[in-house]
Structure 1
């Protein structure tokens, strides 16, 4: 905490401490840090004290050592495959660009899930694998969840926030127009983004600072209310496998899947704020770029920098897929929400 925490940011998050831990014995010549001269290591209840001999390192030596000491995140692929008694749904990316390599894979995954929905729902177990997912567009996970549990079930259970305000700026509008272009061939999303562009565009023309996104599902909710409480055909035990880097749209996926009835397993997640939908903006110098959130959630159920702690913790290597499959197979089914 003294050597790294003051400059690392969000030191309270386990995921942040894991990510920067390899820097502990690197002298960054911080004038506000006093380097320790001894260090006590404890292993199996036994303590041993070591003297620390600080020495200058070249940039190449720092890079090499940091690469060796840093925890490597395993990034799963994108796809659907059968496992013993069920299915493993790999969602290692939520790339918002549907025309990118991963976007094409995600489109194919959605089509596979829709085509195999009956078999997936009737399986003994289904695992949603989010290892290595760095976020992107939460639309992918929501649409896959709706394909399995049903749109009415998801809309009834997922309580995202009380409202969403977008910063009404020409650059943000341009980003949403790009979303509109990318998902123009998706009938489920084309109308949504058309309405987004119309509403945000009108706010920009008026010179409004913020635009409150309306609830585009009002008509659906009215019809659902007349039909009674929604039901789902999903019968499989469902698990969500997370790692310490899961944040942004990855956490949105966790919110949706757990609300639907899944149980989180793996590692404690990272966290995010209520400021979301990040885009890149180059600075005028051309030497750097910043990442700007375009919208803010009002009254989101999950708070600022709030992690998700798994019901079952995996302490092994997160890249050991075979070991994880064997571990999932022996988890107590009674601990799973249906």
Structure 2
């Protein structure tokens, strides 16, 4: 394949009830398309008219011919979109100006390219800001390497030949949970390199209220834990985050210390060591989260401060959600 052909993009946008966001997502892509680039929106059984919205924008739409869920929908689009590279873009992800040139530069040195979350967030909800800024902070502050072990398919490009050799996403993984982590594990195990472009900040349109965020993160933690416990060993080294294990220590400490503080508070009613345990847990939690809190307030002001408080129950979800997942694994569930 000629070098010019290799740089051609087949862009896959999965649709599932995305009528409220797809126009802005597509609108950010269209002005920068190069000759040969193609956008294919793949509908996964929408009921809100998403395909019609795409068609009105002049975007080609196809119905998914694979099993329901993110993995099947992306695989369906990848098989039909053409291009030497496949770019997966979520229907609520708005690319920044210059995205196409940034990808082409990255193609020269990597097998796959990962964008990052923008620091800003839509709406006024502290939960929405927390979710977006958490990912932004992880991508841009916690990760300190150019190449990463994981991927997030909200804006992720990969060489077609490598994608096809790996068999695409695992369609046995239901919903939109760990299919990207599984693919990244297989990609890196095969010798592929995922380049993180910290300057390619993608704005997300999805908004969360507090119950919705807790429900979403509970489901994701359970899915990741179950994958970790029962994944196919031939799928490469574990990759549950874009960051490496050492870079996520502060998150692990936060998740554990919040329950140490809770245990200390409960113990205070029955044992003199309770206050000391409470103080130790609280101190460990504050120390593990202080840098994130400072950055959150600097980026979001009062909204960023409110987001810091959202992070406390969010981290507290980790232990019970993981325990629930392990119970499901012992009961025989796979993913």
TM-score (norm 2): 0.23
Q: Which has the higher helix share?
A: 2
